[in-house]
Structure 1
Amino acid sequence: MPHVSRRQYIKSVGVASSVVALAGCSGGDGGGGEGDGSSGDGNSGGSQDGTSTSGAGGNTYKMDVATAYKIGTTKEYPVMQQAFKKNVEEASDGQIEVKLHPNGVLGAGTQLAEKVQSGTVQAAQFSFSNFSPYASAVDLVNLPYFAGNNQQFVNLVTSDTWETNVHEKVRSNGFEPLFYLVIDPRALGVGKGAGQVMTPSDMKGYKHRIPGSQILEEAWKMAGANPTPIAWGETPSAIEEGVADSLHVSIEAFVTFGFTDLVSHITRINMVEDAQVYAMNKQWYDDLPSNLQSSVDEAADKTFRQNLKQVPKSRENSMAKLEEAGVKVHDPSDSQLQEWKDTVGYQRSEWDSWKKELAGDMETFKQLEKATTQQSEFEVPN
């Protein structure tokens, strides 16, 4: 079957696909919020090899889906794993049985991306930065204020330009991208011993935790900080011990990853988006009957829409947890936010070489830039 882009598919089902009640992954561990009706552990049979078995209603396909998050995380971090399971099984009338492997039991991040690429698992959720080795344009999202808020990010990743410059390339490397997880823009948090940060000048001398990203290293140098590469798993202890003074993650991530008792102030500077992706092994997707490929597409579209509706609820729950812990959350004024954009924003000439390198040429970069501002059919709630 010739491949129909997910954007084209979503357009075809968008009107007919109703946005149902929010599906939170909360039933499994007693984590409140709106459940999606899935079983508590998310495991409804299934096999590690994703093979099909013959039954009265035809073949049944066993589909393993791996994530790094425990069941119930959606309450504060909209992972949507139970929703995705339910949507796939319902869309396929039970012909695809989904077995969730949550909580990192099969790995996390790059490990999961590699397992999807090799077909060890049929699908997984991981940072979309794992696509960057195959489509360098992915890393443009790390440019400060290029796609720094939820709507800009959604506009970009659902555009035809993204389809051409990213999805076509990752498909040729063994992935079938299903949908993106919108979390929220990353916010700047400082440890207990540090004062609040409202403008770049407040960052002077701060040891700011960064992942292994040259773009982010350059961005925080421009802001006046001392970029300090620290592995994610070591970041809580680094903040607690003063090895790092600050970090940059979404509001929801501060709660989900245990920083509520480690930071004193958080400032929402809306510089870079926190988002992830669900992807499937392309060969497994291609081997499905066409009607079940459509079922997977329908389920992906539905879960994406549910994710967008869930984000404000996860944010609200996270904010409540932060307030309870005594963390002060600040929103910069318009003039303070403009200082950030003027100091580190992607419009600065320092970023020109990155634009050319990652997009391939400035014309392609301009097309991707335009895509961030063109309203997609998906309107992200505030």
Structure 2
Amino acid sequence: MSNLSKLESPPSPSRRTFIRQSAALLPVVSAWPQTVMAQPQTCTGARYKLIFASPYNSELWLSSPHMHQQLKHNIEDFSNGKICVEIRDNGSQGVGHDLAVQVSRGVIQGALLSVSNLSPIVPKLDILNIPFWAAESQAYLNLITSDLWQQQVTEQIRAQGDVAILLYHLPGARTLTSTRQHGKLLKTPSDIIDVVFRVPVSQVLRQFYQLCGTTPVQVAWHKAAMLAANKRFDALDPSVTGLYNGPNGLNQHIGAVSLINSVQDGWVSVINQRWLKSLPRKLRIAVWEGAEKTFVQHLSMARQAALYCQRGLLRNGATIYYPSADEMASWQEIGGYQRREWHATKVTLLGKLSAFDAFVAATQVNNGLTFPT
């Protein structure tokens, strides 16, 4: 979720007031894509163009909370048509870390990518990938909407001057998933010892799977389907939504999905700071307001998409497994955030252990939004 900057925020409504007002849109949000999908990519009378890239297909909105068309409509609407948003979807501009680099360098203005693929540019975000403290959607929503997170993370990222987070997306928690070629159901830590495990460019996730005894290998997201088919790795960890929507038909290469809910498979829509600062003040505000509205609209769609993807994976022949309480405890014991092995990471990313403890406390406080169940 984005936060209107102190310098750019209009006197009314405030951020929280805006969220409460926007929440009234949630009951009708499921019908929204059918309206906006019909809108053309081109727009007349625009003074500025925002090229927004994504690995996901705009037409497949039922299975993904990518919110392409909602973001386009909302920014164009709040800017009174002065900003034209051009969506380059389906990986046409690249995927993953490549998109993060393009936005950072100003090649494009905005993009949708995972938190893990942004973490090399914004290392502090990797704190989200320490397991079993902010994985559940409501806990994650509480955290990212807290004043603490906004001040300590979102605003600090914006202050760096390269990229800014327009909005957070909640596609669901990461899984423990075997490829169809490997086929084994991964119930407990003993099941993944010596398994070749695909990881993104997150050092924290790599450390987690090392604690679990795997052999982690970094694989670019756009190559995951091909390498899974060729038995180059045995397991991977995206959310059900990520598995189903993965590029190049990844969902055809999924074997058994274990819902261990280790880490929220968070996505972020980001924007280039230099482009944003080049806009007149009113249009900068329009971008933030469009992002705020999109964030609230995406909550019910994220839940609907996750259920759609789960049914889709089952239709494809995958198995979906819900671990028992004892099995969940075994994952927590071997890799959970309470382990001393995470102390150095917490200090490196946040400066002190107490800062992490404050974030954990923030996951318990609802800030006015409830994730649908």
TM-score range, shorter chain: 0.7 to 0.9
Give the stretch that moved more between structures: 367-376 or 130-139: 130-139
Partner in structure 1 of residue 162 of structure 2:
174
Partner of 2:174, secondary structure, is: strand
2:209 pairs with one of 220, 225, 245: 220
1:126 pairs with one of 113, 127, 150: 113
1:205 pairs with one of 194, 217, 224: 194
CA positional deviation for 1:141: 0.9
Partner in structure 1 of residue 290 of structure 2:
299
1:347 lines up with 2:351 in the alignment: no
CA positional deviation for 1:357: 0.8
Partner in structure 2 of residue 101 of structure 1:
88
Within 5 Å, give how 1:142-181 maps onto structure 2.
142-171=129-158, 172-181=160-169
Q: Percent of pairs identical after alignment?
A: 28
Task: Return the alpha-carbon distance in structure 2 between the equivalents of residues 42 and 153 of structure 1.
Answer: 34
Paired AA for residue 248 in structure 1: D
Q: Which runs of 5+ in 1 are unaligned?
A: 25-32, 47-54
Partner in structure 1 of residue 126 of structure 2:
139
Contact 1:134 1:173 in 2 (8 A): no
Partner of 1:186, secondary structure, is: coil
More helix by share: 2
Task: Return the alpha-carbon distance in structure 2 between the equivalents of residues 195 and 130 of structure 1.
Answer: 27
Paired AA for residue 270 in structure 2: A
Q: Is the alpha carbon distance of 1:329 and 1:287 closer, same or farther for their aligned partners in structure 2, counting shifts above 3 Å?
A: same
Within 5 Å, give how 1:11-26 maps onto structure 2.
11-17=16-22, 18-20=24-26
Task: Return the alpha-carbon distance in structure 1 between the equivalents of residues 260 and 20 of structure 2.
Answer: 35
Paired AA for residue 331 in structure 1: Y
TM-score, length-normalised on structure 1? 0.85
Contact 1:175 1:282 in 2 (8 A): yes
Contact 2:116 2:202 in 1 (8 A): no
Contact 2:244 2:312 in 1 (8 A): yes
Q: Is the alpha carbon distance of 1:175 and 1:248 closer, same or farther for their aligned partners in structure 2, counting shifts above 3 Å?
A: same
Contact 1:131 1:170 in 2 (8 A): no
Paired AA for residue 169 in structure 2: L
Give the stretch that moved more between structures: 123-132 or 134-143: 123-132
Paired AA for residue 204 in structure 2: I
CA positional deviation for 1:84: 0.7
Greater RCO (Cα-Cα under 8 Å, separation 6 or more):
2
1:3 lines up with 2:7 in the alignment: yes
CA positional deviation for 1:187: 1.1
1:35 lines up with 2:26 in the alignment: no
Within 5 Å, give how 1:315-326 maps onto structure 2.
315-326=306-317
Task: Return the alpha-carbon distance in structure 1 between the equivalents of residues 14 and 34 of structure 2.
Answer: 24
Task: Return the alpha-carbon distance in structure 2 between the equivalents of residues 106 and 289 of structure 1.
Answer: 27
Contact 1:181 1:276 in 2 (8 A): yes
Partner in structure 2 of residue 255 of structure 1:
244
Contact 1:135 1:165 in 2 (8 A): no
Give the stretch that moved more between structures: 126-135 or 218-227: 126-135
Give the stretch that moved more between structures: 169-178 or 357-366: 169-178
Partner in structure 1 of residue 42 of structure 2:
44
1:311 pairs with one of 282, 302, 310: 302
1:269 pairs with one of 253, 260, 283: 260
Paired AA for residue 264 in structure 1: G
Q: CA RMSD in A?
A: 2.6
Render the CA deviation track for 1:159-181: whole Å, top value 9, x for unaligned. 22222222233222322321111
Task: Return the alpha-carbon distance in structure 2 between the equivalents of residues 68 and 241 of structure 1.
Answer: 22
Q: Is the alpha carbon distance of 1:188 and 1:2 closer, same or farther for their aligned partners in structure 2, counting shifts above 3 Å?
A: closer
Partner in structure 2 of residue 30 of structure 1:
none
Give the stretch that moved more between structures: 109-118 or 188-197: 109-118
Give the stretch that moved more between structures: 229-238 or 179-188: 229-238
Aligned residues: 362
CA positional deviation for 1:85: 0.7
Partner in structure 2 of residue 186 of structure 1:
174
Partner of 1:379, secondary structure, is: coil
CA positional deviation for 1:131: 4.6
More strand by share: 1
Partner of 2:183, secondary structure, is: coil
Give the stretch that moved more between structures: 347-356 or 233-242: 233-242
Task: Return the alpha-carbon distance in structure 1 between the equivalents of residues 288 and 207 of structure 2.
Answer: 38
Q: Is the alpha carbon distance of 1:368 and 1:168 closer, same or farther for their aligned partners in structure 2, counting shifts above 3 Å?
A: same
Q: Which runs of 5+ in 2 are unaligned?
A: none
Task: Return the alpha-carbon distance in structure 2 between the equivalents of residues 10 and 372 of structure 1.
Answer: 19
Give the stretch that moved more between structures: 262-271 or 291-300: 291-300
Contact 2:95 2:222 in 1 (8 A): no
Render the CA deviation track for 1:124-183: whole Å, top value 9, x for unaligned. 222234553564321111111132122222222222222222223322232232111111
